[in-house]
Structure 1
Amino acid sequence: MSDTSVDGGTRAPAAVPAPRARRPAARSPRRRGPLNRLLASARYAAPALLGYAAVRAVGLVLLALWDLKHGTHSLHRLSTMWDAYWYQDIAVHGYAGSKPVPGPNGPYQAYAFFPVYPALIKLVWSLLPLPVNYAALLVAWVGALAAAWGIFAVAARLYGRRTGVIAAALWGVTPYAVVESMAYSELVFTAFAAWAMYAAVTHRWIWAGTLSTLAGLSRPTGVAVAVAVGLGAFGALVVRWWRRRDRKTKAPAWWRPVLGAAIAPLGFAGYIGWVGLQKGSWDGYFKVQEAWESQFDFGRSTYKVLRAMLMNAEPVWLTDAMVAGTLAASVLLFAVCVLQRQPLTLLVFSGMMLLLALGDAAYFNSRARFLIPAFALLLPLAAGLARLRTKGAAAAVLAFAALCSASYGGYVVFVYTNSP
């Protein structure tokens, strides 16, 4: 076609648009550096961490008010009471240098306590000008924040950010949340367990296995994390097999879940084996635990205590009633988790934690403390609170729960004579 117009004139050639300057391609989140990813993740989790810190601060303020009234020192007490002595003694003297303490069922020995928390105490104590008890408390509090972050990450991944924020705060207002302010290993363990669960639900199986190993070196209940990661990895392999049948869907590499499952139990099994070598017997760790009457009896001890509470006319301690209520509520919440079809890894983890708490023959009141890391049981409650339409309703519920938890925590720390 010519450039001549219909009236016989010559048509001017069309102007060619100047090429636009290309903007540099935005870097995807996966291509950002590790520090930038960490900062972005921290900003995303900030409301959850602030909410968790706020509800735990309520408990600390109440304990401080108790200090003013009775002339006690709550921080010192939180950092030294009950099992805190053992962790700090191991940090200072090591396992071989820690002296056994006579007990009614045999000597109490440091080998009953797993090594990660004492190792972290020793590290912080050697780096900072703090007494060992406050170094232990600092490690525990940092572990609690890391655990709240992991709980938020799991809940936000499955249910959304609002539910994640509420879940982290709910973990800070459980009846025995005062333990989250104490120099106990449950906090470091919960941090490893929560992030292991997050790695599992996001299919990062090698990370899940590594974190499971660290959890297994933190507490004996690390076996629950190992079993959960192992079965979750098996489920991932089954899904991979089904995807391979559909040639249009790319199946993930098979070796990642296999390797994750293989390394998951190494921490727990390794420490049990090491204690066995120190004691000259494969069951050396379990013999050490006999001094605390800690052994798995399939729930017979739990049944006897609950039956006595219901059948006997003797007065019941408030702590006994609270532990019994916590166990009953946990069983109910686990049933809800099953009905809501939580991911397999979370269900196995919660179920194993419940099984260990109900089936242990040790001191009855410790069962509620054993369930502190079972954060997935709280997810149905968090999701329900997140759906409340009334403005401020969820915040009001959490504030009231924080006051109740703080009041009961003060009772556990200053009134009740035995350990939680």
Structure 2
Amino acid sequence: MNFSRVRAWVTSWGPDAKTARELIELLIFSRIALILAGWVGLARLPWKYYSPQYNVSANPVVLMGIRWDALWYTGIAMHGYWFQALAFFPMYPFLIALVHWITFLSVYDTALIVSNMGLVGFTFVFYALVRDVFGADVAKRSVWIAVMFPTAFFMSAGYTEGIYMFFSTAVFWLAYRKKFYTAGIFGLLAGLTRNEGAFTVIPLLWSYYQSYGWTIRKALWSVLLVPAGIIAYMVYQWRDFGSPLAFIAAQGYWGRKISWPWVGIILAFKTIWNGSPLQPDTILSMIDLCAALGFIVLWALAWLKKFPVDWLAYWGILLLIDISAPDINGQSPLLSMSRLVLILFPGFVMMGILARSESWQRFFYWVFPMLQATFFLIFATWHWIA
């Protein structure tokens, strides 16, 4: 075997050995820091919901990652779907069940294994994508900021963020490299993971247009792979629950309603203005409002920096959808916005560009990790954060 050719092939798509080691160290040390923070929280801070029905393991490392939505995903992996659970797409529960079947570990263990495998995949693919477009320096900073973002711990918890980030960024990177059918398969997987995955068709269409214009070529079939996953899920709902759009009705259980994009923002301002600075509603509204406004400003800066068109379109559409579905009567009108922006990967690239400045670099490199440790303490002790 010609190892020099193999090494050249690996280097052409992935990081060099030094960078790969740095990325692995970032993942290992950041996860160790989170585990220590969660351990302190479980040992020293008051919990909620002491019932074994919710605290599903005696292992604190597992326990701190199985909170809130994680119980829905693991419940689906064990028992299949019921109506309210249709709001949670099937790929993540399927992978949890598959790894459980292969390893005989509990579904709670395998939920965290799958999430962290997704985080590793995202870290390397995201680096490769940003390096190809903006260079290695911006790529390193962007990855560091993404992993240290205040709600990035969700990529290691029993949530879909880890694997969705991997699938969706893989679509962009493969489409950029004109690997249409492989990108389409990852788009299918993204669509089976979250409904936002349908919009990974954008980089495929853009890359196809750049390659072939308006002419019809065989590669156009790859675009149809992206909606295939969601269509399959809709057929399943139609057969077993009587409606192909049952997942939309199920989402109403969480109180979200479609409205004008400024409604949630105005309500968040009102909640903050009328509330006490130490009330949970006020604090959560501040966090979610800062996330929404921050990513709007970042999008505008990215547009001025002439980011790739498909990045801006994907980012803008998803951000608009999230802002336009507020929880009007909930604790925070822009419910979970600090977590929802996590999948908007171009935002981290814009932050990576801003981090060329030492002042911005100090902010991202010091404030973000401290906020993530704080948010994870809140999450691990059964207090709502996103």
TM-score per shorter chain, which class? Answer: 0.7 to 0.9
Please state if 1:349 is matched with 2:314: yes
Q: Is the CA contact (8 Å cut-off) linking 1:151 and 1:168 kept in structure 2?
A: yes
| Among candidates 301, 321, 324, match of residue 359 of structure 1 | 324
Q: Is the CA contact (8 Å cut-off) linking 1:229 and 1:264 kept in structure 2?
A: no
1:284-331 per-position Cα deviation (integer Å, ceiling 9, x unaligned): 222222222344334265134224235425545322211110111100
Cα gap change, 1:353/1:74 in structure 2, threshold over 3 Å: closer, same or farther? farther
Match in the other structure for 1:370: 340
Residue 344 of structure 1: how far off its partner (Å): 1.9
| Among candidates 46, 53, 60, match of residue 35 of structure 2 | 60
Q: Is the CA contact (8 Å cut-off) linking 1:51 and 1:168 kept in structure 2?
A: no
Normalised to the residue count of structure 1, the TM-score between the two structures is: 0.77
Cα gap change, 1:356/1:232 in structure 2, threshold over 3 Å: closer, same or farther? farther
Map 1:210-229 → 2, pairs under 5 A: 210-229=185-204
Match in the other structure for 1:273: 235
Q: Is the CA contact (8 Å cut-off) linking 1:289 and 1:295 kept in structure 2?
A: no
Deviates more, 1:358-367 or 1:191-200: 358-367
Match in the other structure for 1:139: 114
Residue 234 of structure 1: how far off its partner (Å): 3.2
Q: Tell me which structure has the larger Cα radius of gyration.
A: 1
Please state if 1:148 is matched with 2:123: yes
1:142-180 per-position Cα deviation (integer Å, ceiling 9, x unaligned): 111111222111111112222222211111222212322
Match in the other structure for 2:105: 130
SS of the counterpart of 1:264? helix
Residue 42 of structure 1: how far off its partner (Å): 7.4
Cα gap change, 1:366/1:162 in structure 2, threshold over 3 Å: closer, same or farther? same
SS of the counterpart of 2:162? helix
Between Structure 1 and Structure 2, the one with more helix by share is 2
1:241-300 per-position Cα deviation (integer Å, ceiling 9, x unaligned): 7xxxxxxxxxxx9432x1232222222233233313322234322222222234433426
Cα gap change, 1:123/1:357 in structure 2, threshold over 3 Å: closer, same or farther? same
Match in the other structure for 1:324: 289
Please tell me the root mean square deviation across aligned C-alpha atoms, in Å: 3.1
Residue 235 of structure 1: how far off its partner (Å): 4.3
Mapped partners of 1:384, 1:49: distance in 2: 24
Mapped partners of 2:363, 2:385: distance in 1: 31
SS of the counterpart of 2:293? helix
Structure 2, unpaired ranges of 5+: 48-58
Mapped partners of 2:2, 2:158: distance in 1: 48
Match in the other structure for 1:193: 168
Match in the other structure for 1:9: none
Percent sequence identity is 19
Residue 47 of structure 1: how far off its partner (Å): 2.0
What is the identity, as a one-letter code, of the residue corresponding to 1:285?
A: F
Cα gap change, 1:60/1:388 in structure 2, threshold over 3 Å: closer, same or farther? same
Cα gap change, 1:124/1:37 in structure 2, threshold over 3 Å: closer, same or farther? farther
Q: Is the CA contact (8 Å cut-off) linking 1:286 and 1:295 kept in structure 2?
A: no
Match in the other structure for 2:218: 255
Map 1:399-410 → 2, pairs under 5 A: 399-410=366-377
Match in the other structure for 1:85: 71
Q: Is the CA contact (8 Å cut-off) linking 1:299 and 1:358 kept in structure 2?
A: yes
Deviates more, 1:315-324 or 1:204-213: 315-324
What is the identity, as a one-letter code, of the residue corresponding to 1:268?
A: I
Mapped partners of 2:76, 2:165: distance in 1: 21
Residue 55 of structure 1: how far off its partner (Å): 3.0
Q: Is the CA contact (8 Å cut-off) linking 1:58 and 1:403 kept in structure 2?
A: no
Cα gap change, 1:30/1:397 in structure 2, threshold over 3 Å: closer, same or farther? closer
Residue 394 of structure 1: how far off its partner (Å): 5.0
Please state if 1:164 is matched with 2:139: yes
